[in-house]
Copies of this chain bind each other. A is one copy, B any other.
Amino acid sequence: MKTNFSTRQPNLPLVQLYSVAAEPPSLQDNTADLDRLKKALRRSLPNNRIVIPYNRMAILAESFRKAQFRGTAVINSLPHCVELVDFLANPPEVLPAMALDLGTTHLEASLVDLVSGRIMARATRENPQTEHGADILTRIHFTAGRTGRQGDGLAVLHRQVVGCINSLAESLCRQATLAPGDIRALAVAGNTTMVHFLLDLNPYHICREPYIPMINVPDPLHAGDLRLTIHPAAPVWIMPSVGSYFGGDLIAGILSTGLDQAEKPCMLIDVGTNAEVLVGNRDWLIACAGAAGPALEGGVVEMGMRAGPGAIEHVEIDPESGKLTYTTVDNGPAAGICGSGMIDLMAGLYLARIIDIQGKFSSRPPASPLRDNLTGDKASKSFTIVPAEKSANGRPVLLTQVDLDALMRSKAAMYSILTTLINQVGLTFDELDRIFVAGAFGKHIAPRQAIILGMLPDLDLSTYRPVGNSSLAGSETLLLDQDARTRSLAIAKKITYIELNVNQEFMIRFSGSRFIPHTDRALFPSVPFFNDA
């Protein structure tokens, strides 16, 4: 599988190579091997304290001597020092590093060459922890439930995530004809709880008021600390978090959109199981997060799935003819429907008046071929998107009233989060220069359909910018760019975080948002309003 990936010019990457040519020792110059190596390297790094970790001493000294005191030093560029970790007789052509999006449902990784900035391979795995809970909360309870707060549950989840990263490393290396031990660095962006699982830290207090993580800004560690199969001296750099519900994945989004450097205020929306939203510019950053429900990520909804092969990602309904067309992610037969497809479908069904402003299947749908797709009685009504004979697996792809209800809650939560936040910062939506929509959701979503549902504010469509998997992109940037590493820490410090779960205003707004598009029609002037009630 050959893919063209983007290439960014590295600027002081996390691991760096320095050419070293030391004078060989002599009776006149009996400096010890490692002190000699440090001294020679200091010419290239005069302002850094160079430290050799204990477990690298012997191998460094041996290889420096074997290479006759000339070759390439491999260093980890850490905030408090430069770690000298290896010495190679010849400069390597590539210096592979791994970027990781540590997601709740999926882990996505790329192999980045720190010499050229080239992306060499990509790989994805379902998060194996899913067996112990589809969502983060269930997994936190799993750690607490197994054998108490420090119990086995945490160890299980920790081992699973480490195993999954090792498996990704293997896959990446297979694609690039390398070995996992060749991977010299790992940058990780994930939500706060996933980072706790990775670090084997107890997440107990994350989901309990006042929602306090053990750590938001871990110091860099080594792959060997986590028993990863990549190079044991590889630095593991973890994107900082801001709070229990505002993790490194979002900081990654800020990094890769450059929101922290923007002059005019912008917004960043990341919808996973949780909706995390941030507004700000180069001077200030205010964030909040709230449970948007897993409906948009392929959870809960009966035929829901992630945006992958077989997932219906777009649905179009001609309101005149009632003709329904759809496309799947891979253009193959449909097996289910992902978040963006559901939003399209629901918006189309609303415009075709098959569902009403309360998000219920209409008891009096207008005459339309779409009526044929409706089956079941009031309580168990469902809408067939793809009949059994045309689907990928011989089962129809359906949307049920239960699904609709879940989606309504998600869209209401989403809009409430956005309005609560914009209100808190004293702005209105039309003062936003850009709205970045991150995540798989952002990549596939049609903002117009989300506006029709009253999920996103009714703004000019050019305001919306999809940013794809910014978690992975942000990790890649951490690996490649020292400024980005500095910025990530500055961003984490700068963000003011508002806790929504306890915000009265939010609860009021949530109630108002449980209509299509909204109880306050004036907020959505571009959306047709049908009051059949």
Shortest CB distance A208–B (Å):
11
Q: Which 9 residue pairs spanning A and B have beta carbons closest together? A: A54-B221, A32-B216, A32-B213, A61-B214, A34-B215, A54-B225, A25-B212, A80-B81, A49-B80
Closest chain B residue, CB of each to CB of A240: B35
**In the complex, A51 Cα to B221 Cα: how many Å?**
10
Q: Which of B34, B54, B62, B201 contacts A58 (CB 8 A)?
A: B201
C-alpha gap A202/B35 in the complex (Å): 15
Contact A32 B219 (CB under 8 A): no
Closest B residue to A27 using CB positions: B210
Q: How far is the CB of A88 from chain B (nearest CB, A)?
A: 18
Separation in Å of the A44 CB from the closest CB of chain B? 18
A316 contacts B by Cβ under 8 Å: no
Min Cβ gap A148→B in Å is 12
Q: Which of A51, A55, A79 has the most CB of B within 10 A?
A: A51
Which residues 212-260 in A have Cβ within 8 Å of B in the complex? 212-219, 221-222, 225, 241, 243-244
- A32 to chain B: which residues have CB within 8 Å? 212-217, 241, 243
Query: Are B51 and A80 interface neighbours, CB within 8 A?
Result: yes
Question: By the criterion of a CB under 8 Å from any partner CB, how many residues of chain A are at the interface?
Answer: 49
Q: Does A377 contact B (CB under 8 A)?
A: no
For A30, the chain B residues whose CB sits under 8 A away are 210-212, 243-244, 497, 499
Which residues 197-211 of A sit at the B interface, judged by CB distance below 8 A? 199-202, 205, 209-211
Who on chain B is nearest to A149 by CB? Answer: B62
B61 touches A27 (CB 8 A): no
Instruction: Tell me whether A27 and B499 are in contact in the complex, defined as CB-CB below 8 angstroms, given that A33-B214, A212-B32 are known contacts.
Output: yes
Quickly give the copy total for this chain: 2
Per the bound structure, the CA–CA distance linking A52 and B61 in Å amounts to 28
Residues of B within 8 A of A150 (CB): 62
Q: Closest Cβ of chain B: how far from A115's Cβ, in Å?
A: 27
Using known A-B contacts A27-B502, A30-B499, A32-B212, determine if residue A52 contacts B244 with beta carbons closer than 8 Å.
Answer: no
CB–CB B199/A25 < 8 A: no
A26 at interface, CB cutoff 8 A: yes
For this complex, 25 residue pairs linking A to B, each with C-beta atoms less than 8 Å apart, are A25-B212, A27-B210, A27-B499, A30-B211, A30-B212, A31-B212, A32-B215, A32-B243, A34-B218, A35-B215, A35-B217, A52-B215, A52-B218, A53-B219, A54-B218, A54-B221, A55-B225, A57-B199, A57-B214, A57-B218, A61-B202, A61-B214, A62-B202, A80-B80, A80-B81
What is the CB-to-nearest-CB distance from A252 to chain B, in angstroms, rounded to a whole number?
Answer: 18
Complex Cα distance, B35 from A62, in Å, reads 39
Q: A54-B222, A80-B49 are in contact. Are A27 and B214 (CB under 8 A)?
A: no
B219 touches A52 (CB 8 A): yes
Measured in the bound complex, the distance between the Cα atoms of B211 and A15 in whole Å is 33
Q: Which residues of B contact A81 (CB under 8 A)?
A: 80-81
CA distance A150 to B214 in the complex (A): 42
Distance A26 CA – B208 CA, assembled complex (angstroms): 11
Q: Is the CB of A58 within 8 A of B202?
A: yes
Report the minimal beta-carbon distance from A24 to chain B, rounded to whole angstroms: 9
